[in-house]
Amino acid sequence: MKTKIAFFDAKEYDRQSFINSNIDEEFEIKYLETRLTSDTCKLAEGCDAVCVFVNDDVNSEIIDKLQAMGVKLIALRCAGYNNVDIEYAYGKIHIVRVPAYSPYAVAEHAMALLLTSIRRIHKAYIRTKDFNFSLNGLTGFDLHGKTVGVIGTGKIGRIFIDICRGFGMHIIAYDKFPAADSDIEYVSLDELWEKSDIISLHCPLTDENRHMINADTMAKMKKGVVIINTSRGALIDSEALVEGIKARKIGAACLDVYEEESNVFFHDYSNHIVNDDVLARLISMPNVIVTSHQAFLTNEALSNIADTTLSNVREFFEKDTCPNEVCYKCENIGSCKQTHEKKCF
């Protein structure tokens, strides 16, 4: 009998990559355009597993409803799981994730945002479309010799560091768990705030680091600092960021994520009025670039996400091992020290 999967928040690119990975039709996948919410979770009735993404809300109420319907597995097709109440899920329903899909995709997008911003490429593109070839207002600055502070030195952070080294930049970094035997220069957060010309976030979101960039930390930064965020939106206090830009403290912001993105990103609102005033103010600012959580979106990443997600589901139902399971009892959330010789419960 085929394993039945309810696939929430399905986009065409998701669907195609999973169809390619499920070429032997090993799984029966029901693709749903809607996000997983308390009202829509009933669409998973009769399914063995649900597949969700970053903006699906997997709270205690939804976990109870899924469990009552007989759903045994929540398969995240992403690395982060701050949208899942993993403590409440323990003992009720298992959670698996895709720990890595293409760290190159995210790191390269971070650099693309930085180059676009500081060299005014987006402005030049719009101008030349109107045959305006003036250079006024397009002056940027060299990356060579600048100091970049990298917060989070996992796979993505280290690849971003390698890219920055190629530009001749000086790198300093902060990580709660520094990479062993690396040549990375680790510093305290306060030193990173004070010395960095550019700050790039590459860490997961936790209760501890929520709004780690806020009014107080921005006050410690250099005037004109450039902030890049391709990780999680709530690492930055968005209202404080707006004020920092208005005060000319923040020179530019490159954002692929936003803390209130769940009701906006991945949808077309070009013919609608967006009610999020903070996001509207950020987008209106000439030194802010916002992309809609697309850093992961490459052919290679989509293929890896589909292959790993379906492999997670296959292992869960066919074996008693689950190497990509996450639970709140893991020693360090995000870098589990369990051997996963069996399921977490």
Q: Tens digit of pLDDT for each residue in 297-325? A: 999 999 999 999 999 999 999 987 778 99
- Give the model's pLDDT for residue 331: 47
Catalytic residue among 35, 108, 259, 261: 261
Mean pLDDT in residue range 105-113: 97
- Give the model's pLDDT for residue 337: 53
CB 219 within 8 A of CB 213: no
Beta bridge pairs of residue 147: 170
Catalytic residue among 97, 109, 202, 232: 232
- CA 54 – CA 196 distance, rounded (Å): 30
- With a CB cutoff of 8 Å and minimum separation 6, the contacts of 194 are 220, 221, 222
Indicate if the pLDDT at residue 197 is higher than 80: yes
Mean pLDDT in residue range 174-181: 92
Active site residue 77: no
- Give the model's pLDDT for residue 112: 98
Q: Tell me the pLDDT tens digit for each residue of 117-163.
A: 999 999 999 999 999 999 999 999 999 999 999 999 999 999 999 99
Active site residue 97: no
Average pLDDT over the chain, rounded to an integer: 93
* Most confident of the ranges 56-60, 196-200, 204-208: 196-200
Question: Which residue in this structure is represented by tokens 């997983």?
Answer: 36
- CA 306 – CA 21 distance, rounded (Å): 6
Express as a percent the part of the chain with pLDDT over 90. 83
- Name the token pair of 292: 């809609």
- Give the model's pLDDT for residue 321: 76
Express as a percent the part of the chain with pLDDT over 70. 96
Indicate if the pLDDT at residue 73 is higher than 60: yes
Indicate if the pLDDT at residue 338 is higher than 60: no
- Give the model's pLDDT for residue 341: 66
- CA 92 – CA 111 distance, rounded (Å): 41
- CA 193 – CA 196 distance, rounded (Å): 6
- CA 178 – CA 135 distance, rounded (Å): 43
Active site residue 210: no
- Name the token pair of 317: 């139902």
Beta bridge pairs of residue 28: 4
Indicate if the pLDDT at residue 198 is higher than 80: yes
Indicate if the pLDDT at residue 265 is higher than 70: yes
Mean pLDDT in residue range 103-114: 97
Instruction: Quote the longest CA-to-CA distance of the chain.
Output: 66
- Give the model's pLDDT for residue 330: 65
Catalytic residue among 108, 259, 293, 325: 293
- With a CB cutoff of 8 Å and minimum separation 6, the contacts of 97 are 75, 76, 78, 79, 80, 81, 312, 324, 326
This prediction's pTM: 0.89
- Give the model's pLDDT for residue 152: 97
CB 8 within 8 A of CB 56: yes
- SS3 at position 209: coil
Indicate if the pLDDT at residue 2 is higher than 50: yes
- Give the model's pLDDT for residue 339: 60
Q: Tell me the pLDDT tens digit for each residue of 250-260.
A: 999 999 999 99
Indicate if the pLDDT at residue 25 is higher than 60: yes
What b/e string do you get for 266-284 counting C-beta neighbours within 10 Å, with b at 16 or more? eeeeeeeeeebeebebbee
Backbone angles phi, psi at 246, to 5 degrees: -60, -35
Indicate if the pLDDT at residue 289 is higher than 90: yes
Question: Which residue in this structure is represented by tokens 């869960």?
Answer: 316
CB 266 within 8 A of CB 293: yes
- CA 233 – CA 96 distance, rounded (Å): 22
Which domains are assigned to the chain?
Answer: 3-101+298-318 (3.40.50.720), 103-290 (3.40.50.720)
Indicate if the pLDDT at residue 40 is higher than 50: yes
Q: How far apart are the first and last CA of the chain?
A: 24
- Name the token pair of 278: 């903070």
- Give the model's pLDDT for residue 277: 95
Mean pLDDT in residue range 79-94: 91
